[in-house]
């Protein structure tokens, strides 16, 4: 199957702003979305309690930045997303929560021009699963590492796979059952078809190993439930 292009992904998110603005109802297909959001923001606060600069990669409607600001007030926030409507919504919501600078950048994190050695916290919520080839993954992790200040952290909440095929099949069967309980067989098929078309997730092990390869001094697992996880690295 040919995967969705960047333009197709952007178009889909352009039309889904309001749903993604509501964490209670907008991300039901993402298991433990609220738990993972809490964990990666609280972990970031404890790792870098005096943080000043936040980068939110694939910021969507701004949920992650808003949660981070509830823990460390008045961060400078840089928001990156493919979708301009999402960015506009995020800018509006995040600006209401901080007295510091809020900058929005429309585009792909792989191409966005950002200051190196600048950010204390980078959050990547449900975005890195859009990366495709191994080199793409490695280059992106290298870039995120360079953007961080020493002692800063990259925290990820995302769709993941298992490295062992029988266990991967099992976790996705469980996820399918969860979706069916949530919305019936049609909903299950709709979500899984969309994942197959748009997403290309990698395992938590793959990403943690990659973090260590590009230079992170330590990596941590915060949470995992079936094919979703929260984890990160410290520079």
- Give me the CATH number covering residue 106: 3.40.50.150
137 is a domain residue:
yes
* pLDDT value at residue 228: 97
113 is a domain residue:
yes
Q: Is residue 153 a contact partner of residue 216, using CB atoms and an 8 Å limit? A: no
167 is a domain residue:
no
193 is a domain residue:
no
152 is a domain residue:
yes
Q: Is residue 149 a contact partner of residue 118, using CB atoms and an 8 Å limit? A: yes
Q: Which two tokens stand for residue 182?
A: 């949530």
pTM of the model: 0.94
Which pLDDT tens digits describe the chain residue by residue (235 residues)? 677 677 776 676 666 666 555 655 556 788 999 999 999 999 999 999 999 999 999 999 999 999 999 999 999 999 999 999 999 999 999 999 999 999 999 999 999 999 999 999 999 999 999 999 999 999 999 999 999 999 999 999 999 999 999 999 999 999 999 999 999 999 999 999 989 998 999 999 999 999 999 999 999 999 999 999 999 999 9
Decide: helix, strand or coil at residue 154.
strand
Domain count for the chain: 1
32 is a domain residue:
yes
Decide: helix, strand or coil at residue 159.
strand
- CA–CA separation, 76 and 72 (whole Å): 11
Closest Cα partner for 109 from 68, 145, 160, 161? Answer: 145
**Domain boundaries, position 116:** 6-162+200-234
184 is a domain residue:
no
């Amino acid at each position: 199957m040919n995967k969705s292009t960047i333009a197709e992904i952007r178009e889909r998110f352009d039309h889904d702003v309001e749903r993604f603005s509501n964490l209670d109802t907008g991300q039901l297909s993402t298991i433990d979305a609220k738990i993972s959001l809490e964990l990666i923001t609280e972990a970031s606060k404890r790792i870098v309690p005096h943080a000043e600069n936040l980068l939110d990669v694939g910021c969507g409607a701004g949920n992650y930045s808003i949660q981070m600001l509830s823990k460390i007030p008045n961060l400078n926030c840089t928001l990156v997303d493919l979708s301009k409507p999402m960015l506009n919504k995020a800018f509006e919501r995040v600006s209401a929560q901080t007295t510091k600078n809020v900058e929005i950048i429309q585009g792909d994190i792989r191409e966005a021009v950002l200051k190196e050695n600048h950010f204390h916290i980078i959050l990547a919520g449900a975005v890195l699963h859009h990366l495709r080839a191994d080199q793409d993954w490695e280059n992106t992790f290298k870039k995120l590492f360079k953007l961080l200040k020493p002692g800063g952290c990259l925290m990820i909440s995302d769709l993941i796979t298992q490295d062992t095929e029988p266990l991967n099949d099992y976790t996705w069967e469980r996820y399918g059952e969860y979706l069916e309980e949530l919305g019936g067989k049609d909903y299950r098929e709709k979500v899984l078809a969309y994942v197959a078309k748009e997403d290309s997730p990698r395992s938590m092990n793959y990403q943690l190993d990659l973090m260590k390869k590009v230079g992170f001094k330590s990596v941590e697992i915060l949470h995992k439930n079936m094919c979703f996880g929260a984890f990160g690295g410290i520079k």
